[in-house]
Amino acid sequence: MISEKDVMEFHSPAAEDDNRHWAETNFFGFYNSKEQITIGVYNIFRKQLNMVLSNVFVAKGFGRDATECLFNDYQVHLPIPKDAKLGDYSLDNGLSVKATKPPMDYDIKYRSEDGEMEIDVHYEGLMPPYDISDPEMDPITAKRTSEHLAKAQGFGSAYNNHFDQSGRYTGWVKIRGKKYEISEISTMDHSWGPRPEFDSHNMTWGHVHADPDFAIHTIFQIDPNKDPVNYGELAHGYVMEGGKCYGLVEGRGSAKREGYQQKELEVEVTDVRGKTFGYKGKALTAYPWQAWPSVCGYQSLNEVTLNDGRKAFGECQDFMAMPYMTRPDRPKY
């Protein structure tokens, strides 16, 4: 179970952990589906170097590289301020994140150094943080051996400790004078563990949301070099319905891709109650987001139709590391 302290304080590596690669991250992603823009706020803290990577990006349309987006401020050498807490920090790039009601709610504020981009958004958690390493919460974790979990828990050791949480983002962003209202449900996450710079496990991390309080969040293994269509094993996930969260027990998914980028997707999952949910949809935006310089998160904002006919929106991120993507046996797309 994730506590208030887990959200507020930096975690330190245990003696047996890989201190050189230790990292703690949080990601806040939200969107305006009508304007078809998606906004990402991402930080990787490396306390052992007193360094934080901080990225604020806005994707619109179908970008082919880091420069083809509406906005991208990506700084890798920001010192962690002396008084910073993970739940309350202000960085030199103009970003502030404050957990106003840990572990549920946050304020996210940003003003770029050139004043061209601003964010003023409040995040209200609609469910407790979903702790993927807590067998009481996650039925997949309860069922699997530790060896199996280490091999198939999504992002490898980076996800040794990880939670996802769906909530409502309200507020606005302003990009070069144009203001966009933000008022939709989306999902944030927070992780801590060894996170090597040059390698990672592949995964697709995605979610869809429908008003007023519904979400499906999934983490699947993927290996698009071998199978660009079908997702692999479901690693973790949940359904949020009526403000309650139900862990997933099984699921499957598939995609139509251009290169590694998902353009269409279809997912079906079953939760601990035995209820089955599914959706099918297409990408409204796509962006090969460099989560960190040697790892790409192919990011898309998707519009989907749920099996019950409701329309839903959400983000998908397909992570692959540079050694995987430049491997000699990668397919010629």
Partner 1 sequence: MITARDVMEFHLPADGNPLWAETNFFGFNIPEEKINVGIYFLSRPTLGVALASVQIIQGFPRHRIEALYYDEHAHLQLPEKVGDYSLANGLSVKAVNPPMDYLLTYKGNNDTEFHIEFEGLMPPYDITDPEMDPNAPKEKPIKGHFDQTGHFKGTLKVKGKTYKVDSVSTMDHSWGPRPEADYASASWFHVSFGRELTIHSIFGFDPMTPEILDPFAHGYVLEGGKVYGLKSGKGHSTRDDLMQIGMNVEVTDVRDRNYHFTGSAMTGFPWMCWPNTCDFATLMEWNMDGRIGYGECQDVVSMPNIMRRSA
Interaction site with partner 1 (CB under 8 A): 20, 46, 49-51, 53, 55, 64-67, 70-79, 92-93, 112-114, 116, 176, 197-199, 260, 288, 290, 292-294, 296, 320, 322-323, 325-328
For residue 276, the surrounding DSSP H or E stretch is strand 276-292
Nearer to partner 1 among residue 86 and residue 249 (C-beta): 86
Alpha-carbon distance of 27 to 225, in angstroms, equals 27
The answer for residues whose C-beta is within 8 angstroms of residue 58's C-beta and 6 or more apart is 37, 38, 39, 40, 69, 70, 71, 72, 117, 173, 175
Nearest approach, Cβ of residue 64 and partner 1 (Å): 5
Residue with tokens 């309350």: 88
The least CB distance from residue 140 to partner 1, in Å, is: 30
Nearer to partner 1 by C-beta: 117 or 245?
117
Q: Closest CB to partner 1 among 115 and 243? A: 115
Written as one string, the DSSP assignment of 246-260 is EEEEEEEEEEEEETT
113 vs 211 by CB, closer to partner 1: 113
Q: Which is nearer to partner 1, 272 or 322 (CB)?
A: 322
Tell me how far apart the alpha carbons of residues 18 and 40 are, in angstroms, rounded to a whole number. 28
Considering beta carbons, is residue 72 or 166 the nearer one to partner 1? 72
Residue that the structure tokens 């949480």 belong to: 165
How far apart are CB 128 and partner 1 at their closest, in Å? 32
Per-position DSSP letters for 64-92, written without gaps between them: SSTTSSSEEEEEEEEEPPTT-BTTEEE-T
Phi and psi based region of residue 151 (left: phi greater than 0; alpha: psi -120 to 50; beta: remaining): alpha
Residue whose token pair is 């990577």: 53
132 and 139 Cβ atoms separated by less than 8 Å: no
Element (H, E) at 148: helix 146-151
> CA-CA distance, 23 to 18, in Å (whole number)?
10
CB of 66 to partner 1, least distance (A): 6
In 10 A of CB 212, how many CB atoms?
A: 9
Q: What DSSP designation does 19 have?
A: S
| Closer Cβ to partner 1, 112 or 230, answer by number | 112
Among 169, 24, 47, which residue's Cα sits nearest to residue 109?
A: 169
